[in-house]
């Protein structure tokens, strides 16, 4: 029911002159909603369940964010009991822990962007230089592998490798150093987080760049060679510009994910001892909301985080459209 | 091609770097396999690297004979199968609708899906929703909220858009209904993308843990990932900082086996399917 109404609402709000002329139906006369429904009702019927899914599991929670401004009682109304205005916003702005987790989020996000965004480009360029086909495919296949692991397994591997009897401490012992309890040291958390993130994502990240590399016209390289460009100059003037659109799109997506630093991984890897550097906004609001039942307070923090994320991705997209002419939409 | 000396040096350096990448990538896998096959005493004294020391299969026997592990492993299989089937049904339906360029309201329908990639309700409203829908402690808490991945949806839509329109038009002229066209013309032509999507969803559901962790309170409902998480948390939580070494190595032993068993199905199919994954991702990127 509600989905059909959603479709109808769009007909009311949308000016028919706004719809762009689609080349595929240039000659077809513009249809009214009644005609469209009569002709394509079977297609629309296929969309009902998916629309219900989006309405309930994606848009309802967005509306549910109003409990950031209302007092929510567990067991009471889903949308809260009474308006309290910006009380919860003021609360987290005055909360020292919030500022700590905010800083941690920014630092982890920045480090992830700094290390995990450029590495796939470098690796793709290196793999691309391998002339031996089988070897090339082998390196690729191996580097994708960690991407298919559950985050739980990755966390498990990290803990194993860094444990007191793990390989890293074995090396330290051989070198004559004392073993380090990595998982309990706040000063190690960022290194552990970023390097395990790199381990898991770098290979998978090369896929799109390698695909983009194959689309670069060989004639460009030939022209560059005739102009006397060596290997380095060819890479600089042909290869890198060739993958720039891909890089920009991925950069925008990465910036969009900036605030949502690996919630699940932090949750799996941190513990109260490493909170000073490990606790991020999403883990803090998880503890506040789900563990301590401060639903409204946690929602206010979550909404703040989501809005920053949205702003980041919108501005990154805008800037890139203005400056390099590539954008997501 | 270029036979300059500098380039040959570069090729050598490149080979060394890439060998390093391969070793670093594979080492954790090989180490955990070696640990899973080793005697706990050798692990405890830090002697297990790539080769199992004090080879033993008793840890495997121990873990497999643990009834909780078995139940959780079976749960993972069931959750993965059910969730993948439902997700495939939903995604295929919507992607097919979105691929019809002539459809009135198409931009709006696409917009509804794409917007959710950039803004979401957040953890707490989702938690409140699932709780108040009464989905806690049921399979549906895992399946329903993840029934459509917008990323997969866009890949599938791009694929459908690439199919020849004439085939469908001909079938429509022959009096076939939209459902008939989808089932008998489009789907048989889409085996490649369907296989890719099934893999994407199956791997994602197999690997997922957080929904179950959040919404399931009984250990016999857990998937194996939550079982593993609890093993790891038991050894890293602050409470165990001063825990006795004995306890931790036993856990290390068992953890290794559980990890190997969790990864095993993925490692088993990986060599055969990874090129599908690659095609899928590039397809989505080029056209989506």
Q: What is the CA radius of gyration of chain A?
A: 26
Is pLDDT at B280 greater than 80 in this prediction? no
pTM of the model: 0.86
Instruction: Give the ranges where A94-185 is alpha helix by DSSP (H).
Output: 96-116, 118-128, 133-144, 151-162, 167-174
Average pLDDT over residues A137-166: 90
The two structure tokens encoding residue B2: 């270029």
Instruction: List CB contacts (< 8 A) between B202 and chain A.
Output: none
CA-nearest of B141, B116, B113 to B127 is: B141
How far CA B178 is from CA of A38, B54, B187, in Å, comes to 13, 63, 12
Question: What is the sign of the dihedral through the CA atoms of A14, A18, A22 and A25?
Answer: positive
Interface of B with A in 206-235 (CB under 8 A): 206-210, 214, 225-226, 228-229, 231-233, 235
**How many residues would you count in chain A?**
329
Is pLDDT at B242 greater than 50 in this prediction? no
For A70, the enclosing helix (H) or strand (E) is strand A70-71
Interface of A with B in 185-224 (CB under 8 A): 199, 203, 207-208, 211
Residues A150, B206: C-beta atoms closer than 8 Å: yes
A169 at interface of B, judged by CB pairs closer than 8 A: yes
Mean confidence (pLDDT) of chain A: 84
For A243, the enclosing helix (H) or strand (E) is helix A240-256
Contact B226, B73 (CB under 8 A): no
- Taking the CA of residue A90 and the nearest CA in chain B, the distance in Å comes to 19
Q: pLDDT digits over A287-305, tens only?
A: 998 898 889 999 999 999 9
Is pLDDT at A144 greater than 60 in this prediction? yes
Q: What angle do CA A130, A133, A137 make, to 5 degrees?
A: 90
Query: Tokens 């969730």 identify what position?
Result: B83
Residues 6+ apart with CB under 8 A from B28: A157, A160, A161, A199
For residue A151, the Cα-to-chain-centroid distance in whole angstroms is 15
Query: How confident is the model at residue B232, as a pLDDT?
Result: 82
Interface of A with B in 79-138 (CB under 8 A): 123, 126-127, 129-131, 138
Residues B27, A306: C-beta atoms closer than 8 Å: no
Q: What angle do CA B112, B118, B119 make, to 5 degrees?
A: 80
Q: Please give the share of chain A, as a percent, with pLDDT higher than 70.
A: 91
Average pLDDT over residues A254-258: 79
Average pLDDT over residues B265-287: 75
Contact A116, A197 (CB under 8 A): yes
Q: pLDDT digits over B208-221, tens only?
A: 999 999 999 988 99
B279 at interface of A, judged by CB pairs closer than 8 A: no
Q: A82 pairs with which residues across the strands?
A: A71
CA-nearest of B100, B228, B209 to A44 is: B100
Instruction: List CB contacts (< 8 A) between B164 and chain A.
Output: none
Nearest to A271 among B25, B124, B236 (CB): B236
How far is residue A137's CA from residue A134's CA, in Å, rounded to a whole number?
Answer: 5
Identity of the highest mean pLDDT range in A131-140, A142-151, B6-15, B73-82: B73-82
Query: How confident is the model at residue A231, as a pLDDT?
Result: 80
ipTM of the assembly? 0.87
Report the chain B residue with the minimal C-alpha distance to residue A34.
Answer: B104
Residues 6+ apart with CB under 8 A from A2: A52, A55
Average pLDDT over residues B252-261: 87
Q: Say how many CB pairs under 8 Å bridge A and B.
A: 290
pLDDT band at A9 (very low <50, low <70, confident <90, very high): very low
The two structure tokens encoding residue A17: 């002159």
- Taking the CA of residue A229 and the nearest CA in chain B, the distance in Å comes to 12
Q: pLDDT digits over A210-255, tens only?
A: 888 888 888 888 888 888 888 888 888 888 988 888 898 888 888 8
Is pLDDT at B254 greater than 50 in this prediction? yes
Instruction: List CB contacts (< 8 A) between A273 and chain B.
Output: 238, 241
Average pLDDT over residues B182-190: 91
A233 at interface of B, judged by CB pairs closer than 8 A: no
Report the chain B residue with the minimal C-alpha distance to residue A21.
Answer: B102
Q: pLDDT digits over B98-114, tens only?
A: 999 889 899 999 999 99
Phi-psi region of B52 (alpha: psi -120 to 50; beta: other; left: phi over 0): beta
CA-nearest of A158, A156, A235 to A189 is: A158
pLDDT band at B2 (very low <50, low <70, confident <90, very high): low
Nearest to B119 among A62, A208, A298 (CB): A62
Report the chain B residue with the minimal C-alpha distance to residue A35.
Answer: B104
């Amino acid at each position: 029911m509600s989905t059909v109404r959603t479709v109808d609402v769009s007909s009311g709000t949308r000016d028919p002159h706004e719809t762009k002329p689609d080349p595929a139906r240039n000659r077809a006369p513009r249809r009214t909603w009644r005609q469209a429904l009569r002709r394509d009702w079977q297609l629309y019927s296929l969309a009902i369940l998916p629309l219900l899914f989006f309405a309930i599991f994606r848009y309802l929670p967005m509306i549910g964010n109003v409990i950031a401004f209302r007092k929510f009682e567990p067991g009471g109304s889903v949308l809260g009991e009474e308006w309290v205005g910006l009380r919860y916003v003021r609360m987290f702005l005055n909360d020292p822990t919030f500022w700590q987790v905010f800083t941690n989020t920014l630092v982890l996000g920045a480090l992830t962007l700094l290390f995990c965004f450029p590495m796939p480009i470098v690796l793709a360029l290196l793999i691309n230089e391998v002339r031996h086909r089988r070897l090339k495919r082998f390196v690729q296949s191996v580097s994708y592998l960690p991407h298919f692991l559950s985050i739980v397994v990755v966390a498990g591997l990290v803990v194993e490798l860094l444990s007191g009897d793990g390989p890293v401490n074995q090396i330290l012992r051989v070198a004559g150093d004392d073993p380090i309890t990595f998982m309990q040291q706040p000063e190690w958390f960022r290194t552990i987080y970023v390097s395990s993130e790199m381990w898991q994502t770098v290979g998978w990240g090369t896929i799109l760049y390698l695909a983009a590399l194959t689309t670069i016209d060989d004639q460009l390289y030939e022209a560059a060679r005739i102009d006397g460009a060596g290997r380095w100059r060819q890479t600089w003037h042909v290869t890198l510009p060739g993958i720039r659109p891909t890089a920009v799109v991925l950069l925008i997506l990465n910036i969009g994910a900036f605030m949502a630093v690996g919630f699940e991984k932090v949750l799996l890897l941190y513990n109260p001892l490493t909170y000073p550097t490990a606790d991020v906004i999403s883990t803090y609001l998880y503890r506040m909301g789900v563990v301590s039942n401060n639903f409204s307070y946690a929602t206010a923090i979550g909404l703040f985080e989501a809005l920053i994320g949205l702003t980041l991705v919108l501005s990154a997209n805008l800037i890139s459209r203005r400056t390099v002419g590539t954008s997501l939409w | 091609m270029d036979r300059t000396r500098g380039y040959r040096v570069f090729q050598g350096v490149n080979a060394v770097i890439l060998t390093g990448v391969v070793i670093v990538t594979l080492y954790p896998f090989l180490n955990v396999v070696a640990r899973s096959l080793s005697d706990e005493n050798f692990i405890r004294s830090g002697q297990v690297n790539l080769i199992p020391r004090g080879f033993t299969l008793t840890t495997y026997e121990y873990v497999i004979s643990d009834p909780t592990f078995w139940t959780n492993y079976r749960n993972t299989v069931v959750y993965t199968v059910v969730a993948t089937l439902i997700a495939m049904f939903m995604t295929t339906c919507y992607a097919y609708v979105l691929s019809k360029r002539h459809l009135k309201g198409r931009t709006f329908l696409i917009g509804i899906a794409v917007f959710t990639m950039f803004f979401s309700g957040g953890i707490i409203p989702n938690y409140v929703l699932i709780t108040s829908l009464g989905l806690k402690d049921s399979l549906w808490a895992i399946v329903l909220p993840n029934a459509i991945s917008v990323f997969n949806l866009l890949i599938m839509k791009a694929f459908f858009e690439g199919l020849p329109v004439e085939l469908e038009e001909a079938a429509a002229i022959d009096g076939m209904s939209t459902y008939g066209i989808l089932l008998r013309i489009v789907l048989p032509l889409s085996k490649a993308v369907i296989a890719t999507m099934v893999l994407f969803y199956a791997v994602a559901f197999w690997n997922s843990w957080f929904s179950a962790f959040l919404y399931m309170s009984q250990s016999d409902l857990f998937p194996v990932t939550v079982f593993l998480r609890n093993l790891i948390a038991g050894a890293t939580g602050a409470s165990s900082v001063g825990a006795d070494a004995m306890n931790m190595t036993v856990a290390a032993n068992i953890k290794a086996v559980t990890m190997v068993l969790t990864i095993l199905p993925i490692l088993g199919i990986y060599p055969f399917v990874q090129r599908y994954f690659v095609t899928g991702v590039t397809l989505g990127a080029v056209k989506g």
